[in-house]
Structure 1
Amino acid sequence: MSNQDWQGKHVTVAGLGVSGIPAARVLNGLGAVVTVVNDGDDERSRAQAAELRAQGITVRLGDGATLPESTELIVTTPGWQPDKPLFAAAAEAGVPVWGDVELAWRLRGRDGREPAPWLAVTGTNGKTTTVRMLASILEAAGLRTAAVGNIGVSLLDAVLGDETYDVLAVELSSYQLHWSPSLRAHSAVVLNLAPDHLDWHGSMEAYVADKGRIYEGNRIACVYNAADPATEDLVREADVEEGCRAIGFTLGTPGPSQLGVVDGILVDRAFVANRQKQAQELAEVADVNPPAPHNIANALAAAALARAFGVEPRAVRDGLRAFRPDAHRIEHVADVASVAYIDDSKATNTHAAEASLAAYDPIVWIAGGLAKGAVFDELVTGAAKRLRGVVLMGRDRALIREALARHAPEVPVVDLDRTDTGAMSEAVREAARLARPGDTVLMAPACASMDMFANYNQRGEAFADAVRALAAESA
């Protein structure tokens, strides 16, 4: 869309915050008549509104339900649920709704530059790690790139900024995909699918369908997880460009058109001359940091997207070697008295915790928090044989305790009846008491953090601080 298309166009932006404010400013700069509506009317919202009003943008606080008169388009922030009254009013009036990702997609190439292709990543878990691995691989190949999207770097900034890119590594949440009807990636992957955010989507079917939008219109490759048949089903259902290929990744020996692992080597049987008889070595498992099974899967997914873009094998290896994981993602904090302490505070759901628990043995597990409607029977059943003991804290810890009683009654459980932030120090001490030399104390809560902490980062920092205090006492 050209600048002229936006002149005088009445656009309503739904929500303030990290995506709403940039969208409002961009649209205002393009000449649109912008109105921002927001449910909240707190001190922070009023300060944000004052800044936007100074730029000539109308802001309505405390009224996010009413469709402003003359609205021709709504641009929504990802957090606004599809069942909001505003969207029902828009549907009745025939007003389209876009997300900030859709807006960025429509604005790419607006200045006449050839827009950078998008290599897109979604999934219940592992998105950020995979996108950052992918960006590291692309950089190792000498390509101008950035990790953008749900990772925290605005796609609007990436497509409208002064810097030019050869390709973008794009993390997309199910929320963002829901509001992105015209997105068409170069290649894309759905890493895995497990129940999450069902309160937003309304059902597992709706959640999966929104994840599957990432494959629509793919040009080169739809990458799927061979261990998760639902991801391959989404590829089969997608309407892609002619010639687009289905590429699987597996932790086992790969078949034709797959990437996998053979004798500790990551290999490619998809982007080689003879897929039936040839395999290309990409990297060693030891090049993946950390080499936990789910992280190897992330590396294979990133490698598949990079290879779909034509990246050479050496760059895959060099990019994986250069990659350093973000904090609080299966992060080794310290060894104390021959016990390893691992921070995976980012494991905020059962699927993520399952992957963490599969990477260590034996384990003293620290868990609990906000369950978000999750059930824990399958998680506990799968991990039972690995558990030396469990320390529980947080509001919904009883749900995990009851699952442990049903499926691992012999495992010692410490139930901390407190939800203050100081509980973490006690949890670490209790875990140290249960652990033996050679064990791993793993904080993979399988729950959200907001009952006790501002976010999972603060929870992880509290764990690391408690471990360091324990180490200092033991020195």
Structure 2
Amino acid sequence: MRISQLEGRRVALWGWGREGRAAYAALRARLPGQALTLFCGPGEAADARALADPALFVETGASAERLAAFEVVVKSPGISPYRPEAQAAAERGTRFLGGTALWCAERVDADGRLRGVVCVTGTKGKSTTTSLLAHLLRAGGHRTALAGNIGLPLLELLAPDPEPEYWAIELSSYQTGDVAASGARPDVAVVLNLFPEHLDWHGSQQRYVEDKLKLVTHARPRIAVLNAADPVLAALDLPASEVRWFGREDGWHLRGDTLFRGGEAVMDTAALPLPGRHNRGNLCAVLTAIEALGLDARPLAAQAAAFQPLPHRLQTLGERAGVVYVNDSISTTPHATLAALECFRGRRVAVLVGGHDRGVDWSGFAAAMRTGAPHAVVTMGENGPRIRDALAPVAGEGGFRLLAARTLEEAMRAGVDALGGAGVLLLSPGAPSFDAYRDYVARGRHFAGLAGFDPNAISTIPGLGVF
């Protein structure tokens, strides 16, 4: 559905974060006189009313009855369509769309394609992968947009002038279905991996996987770029798309630290600013996607050496009194925490874990602690007690100190004390931040400030926008 098709209809916005404000600005720019109702929280209502828009009506209660009064509701990504009030309204005919669906409908060509568009998703690594893709394309002289879930809503780039040649777009599992709903086919869709995540939004692991995979199963990209090492992806049958694999010996893959294209050794990746083998594996995904666009990826691979790592992702802040502080606040699953610990194998590490409890199973993490534990694990936050219960039976066997704290500040003190003046204090929570912070960025900034570093200096995402 294009924005012009909303004219004269009963339309509401649901959510007033950056995505919600971007949707409002896009609709108001194209439909200046359109009546809009905004559903938002009480704390956001004053901000919306301050716009003094006579055609914007602000409400703070999004009940099923009120939502059902509208033909179309443009909702922010963080609002689950599986909420009871949303499902009840949908059953009565309300259509729910996201900003991503509106953007796709505006950009689709006459053949139904999103030309030059590369969509990237995955449980972990999607921001780094999308940013690295934009970096390499730009290094090759191509004007490229970097946007999406990475921090710049697509609707803020509705009509860039001049147009980019390529789009590097990060999509969360909240947004992948929007691409399919728009009816548009991306040129290339990349899926990196699938682990348990966002179960509170999706309702179950099965539905999370189904929603995530809609980018390739329903959006039918021209070329799907998939990770051969992921068992779910390896089993996919995508008759509507050409499939290209990374992490397989006939394509881009790693052997030790060496990057290969088929049987050809291309470069040593050990010194690249991509911490962890998993991030260097994502370079393989990027190079495969570049080839899927019809470009020669080999000469661009070396440009990864100039990549600027993203904040809050295995970000070394610096050293204070013998302790190196590493900010991996983006880590919201136990799998991500294990990957972070692997980067510091052999070093003295205290890891801080815990946050919002959304029911993710920590038994696999606990099993890994039997043989690959750090010096200390400090649990914190809402699910801290549950993580501690999972780890307690293996703490003696794994030979690590198991400590408990309530807040991040308490956890940091406990971790520093456990290190005894030497080692790495790693914030890699394996859980969302919502029990105490607005998002992972706020949590990472607080960690930096408590450690004595400037939160503003460590939080900028490089390369957003079009250039």
Report the TM range for the smaller structure's normalisation. 0.7 to 0.9
Provide closer, same or farther for how the CA distance between residues 454 and 219 of structure 1 changes in structure 2, counting only shifts above 3 A. closer
Alpha-carbon distance between aligned partners in 2 of 1:89 and 1:391, rounded to the nearest angstrom = 42
Q: CA deviation at 1:164?
A: 0.8
Give yes or no for contact 2:273–2:309 (8 Å, CA) kept in 1. Answer: yes
- Counterpart position of 1:24: 24
SS at structure 2 position matched to 1:168:
strand
TM-score normalised per structure 1 = 0.83
Alpha-carbon distance between aligned partners in 2 of 1:82 and 1:209, rounded to the nearest angstrom = 14
1:255 aligns with 2:241: no
Provide closer, same or farther for how the CA distance between residues 385 and 46 of structure 1 changes in structure 2, counting only shifts above 3 A. same
> Which residue of 385, 401, 406 maps to 1:418?
406
Q: CA deviation at 1:109?
A: 5.9
Alpha-carbon distance between aligned partners in 1 of 2:434 and 2:80, rounded to the nearest angstrom = 20
Q: CA deviation at 1:259?
A: 1.6
Q: CA deviation at 1:328?
A: 1.9
Alpha-carbon distance between aligned partners in 1 of 2:313 and 2:128, rounded to the nearest angstrom = 9
Give yes or no for contact 1:225–1:231 (8 Å, CA) kept in 2. Answer: yes
- Counterpart position of 2:56: 57
SS at structure 2 position matched to 1:117:
strand
SS at structure 2 position matched to 1:310:
coil
Q: CA deviation at 1:209?
A: 0.7
Alpha-carbon distance between aligned partners in 1 of 2:50 and 2:109, rounded to the nearest angstrom = 29
Provide closer, same or farther for how the CA distance between residues 206 and 418 of structure 1 changes in structure 2, counting only shifts above 3 A. closer
- Counterpart position of 1:285: 269
Provide closer, same or farther for how the CA distance between residues 264 and 63 of structure 1 changes in structure 2, counting only shifts above 3 A. closer
- Counterpart position of 2:391: 404
1:447 aligns with 2:448: no
Provide closer, same or farther for how the CA distance between residues 431 and 231 of structure 1 changes in structure 2, counting only shifts above 3 A. farther
SS at structure 2 position matched to 1:448:
coil
Q: CA deviation at 1:353?
A: 0.7
> Which residue of 325, 342, 346 maps to 2:330?
346
Alpha-carbon distance between aligned partners in 2 of 1:78 and 1:2, rounded to the nearest angstrom = 18
SS at structure 2 position matched to 1:422:
helix
Alpha-carbon distance between aligned partners in 1 of 2:200 and 2:99, rounded to the nearest angstrom = 21
SS at structure 1 position matched to 2:18:
coil
Alpha-carbon distance between aligned partners in 2 of 1:459 and 1:2, rounded to the nearest angstrom = 37
- Counterpart position of 1:391: 378
Alpha-carbon distance between aligned partners in 1 of 2:436 and 2:56, rounded to the nearest angstrom = 37
- Counterpart position of 1:131: 130
Q: CA deviation at 1:299?
A: 1.6
Write out per-residue CA displacement over residues 85-141 of structure 1, whole angstroms, 9 at most, x where no aligned residue.
553354334343221100000111699xx9652101111111111111111011111
1:162 aligns with 2:157: no
- Counterpart position of 1:265: 258
Q: CA deviation at 1:56?
A: 2.4
Provide closer, same or farther for how the CA distance between residues 90 and 281 of structure 1 changes in structure 2, counting only shifts above 3 A. farther
Tell me the amino acid that sits aligned with residue 306 of structure 1: I
1:364 aligns with 2:350: yes
Q: CA deviation at 1:372?
A: 2.1
Q: CA deviation at 1:286?
A: 2.9
SS at structure 2 position matched to 1:404:
helix
Write out per-residue CA displacement over residues 236-293 of structure 1, whole angstroms, 9 at most, x where no aligned residue.
1x3524xx2x22222xxx322x320135322223xxxxxxxxx455543135313411
- Counterpart position of 1:8: 8
Give yes or no for contact 1:24–1:36 (8 Å, CA) kept in 2. Answer: no
Give yes or no for contact 1:424–1:462 (8 Å, CA) kept in 2. Answer: no
- Counterpart position of 2:363: 377
Provide closer, same or farther for how the CA distance between residues 199 and 68 of structure 1 changes in structure 2, counting only shifts above 3 A. closer
Provide closer, same or farther for how the CA distance between residues 56 and 353 of structure 1 changes in structure 2, counting only shifts above 3 A. same
Percentage of pairs with the same residue: 31
Write out per-residue CA displacement over residues 64-90 of structure 1, whole angstroms, 9 at most, x where no aligned residue.
433468743332211222233553354
Give yes or no for contact 1:361–1:440 (8 Å, CA) kept in 2. Answer: no
Please give the residue correspondences for 1:112-131 in structure 2 after superposition, counting only pairs within 5 Å.
116-131=115-130
1:231 aligns with 2:233: yes
Q: CA deviation at 1:200?
A: 1.3
Give yes or no for contact 2:252–2:284 (8 Å, CA) kept in 1. Answer: yes
- Counterpart position of 2:281: 297
- Counterpart position of 2:177: 178
Give yes or no for contact 1:123–1:191 (8 Å, CA) kept in 2. Answer: yes
Alpha-carbon distance between aligned partners in 2 of 1:443 and 1:135, rounded to the nearest angstrom = 27
* Greater RCO, 1 or 2 (C-alpha within 8 Å, sep 6+): 2
Q: CA deviation at 1:310?
A: 2.5
Provide closer, same or farther for how the CA distance between residues 91 and 462 of structure 1 changes in structure 2, counting only shifts above 3 A. closer
Alpha-carbon distance between aligned partners in 1 of 2:284 and 2:230, rounded to the nearest angstrom = 14
Give yes or no for contact 1:354–1:383 (8 Å, CA) kept in 2. Answer: no
Q: Which runs of 5+ in 1 are unaligned?
A: 270-278, 470-475
Tell me the amino acid that sits aligned with residue 196 of structure 2: P
SS at structure 1 position matched to 2:226:
strand
Alpha-carbon distance between aligned partners in 2 of 1:60 and 1:336, rounded to the nearest angstrom = 48
SS at structure 2 position matched to 1:121:
strand
Give yes or no for contact 2:355–2:434 (8 Å, CA) kept in 1. Answer: yes
Alpha-carbon distance between aligned partners in 2 of 1:55 and 1:465, rounded to the nearest angstrom = 42
Tell me the amino acid that sits aligned with residue 15 of structure 1: G
SS at structure 2 position matched to 1:365:
strand
Give yes or no for contact 1:141–1:312 (8 Å, CA) kept in 2. Answer: no
- Counterpart position of 1:459: 443
Provide closer, same or farther for how the CA distance between residues 380 and 89 of structure 1 changes in structure 2, counting only shifts above 3 A. closer
Tell me the amino acid that sits aligned with residue 228 of structure 1: D
> Which residue of 307, 313, 323 maps to 1:329?
313
SS at structure 2 position matched to 1:174:
coil
- Counterpart position of 1:88: 87
Give yes or no for contact 2:15–2:76 (8 Å, CA) kept in 1. Answer: yes
- Aligned-residue CA RMSD (Å): 2.9
Provide closer, same or farther for how the CA distance between residues 458 and 100 of structure 1 changes in structure 2, counting only shifts above 3 A. closer
Provide closer, same or farther for how the CA distance between residues 91 and 374 of structure 1 changes in structure 2, counting only shifts above 3 A. closer
- Counterpart position of 1:274: none
Give yes or no for contact 1:375–1:399 (8 Å, CA) kept in 2. Answer: no
Alpha-carbon distance between aligned partners in 2 of 1:332 and 1:372, rounded to the nearest angstrom = 28
Give yes or no for contact 2:35–2:56 (8 Å, CA) kept in 1. Answer: yes
SS at structure 1 position matched to 2:137:
helix
Alpha-carbon distance between aligned partners in 1 of 2:48 and 2:2, rounded to the nearest angstrom = 28
> Which residue of 416, 419, 423 maps to 1:432?
419
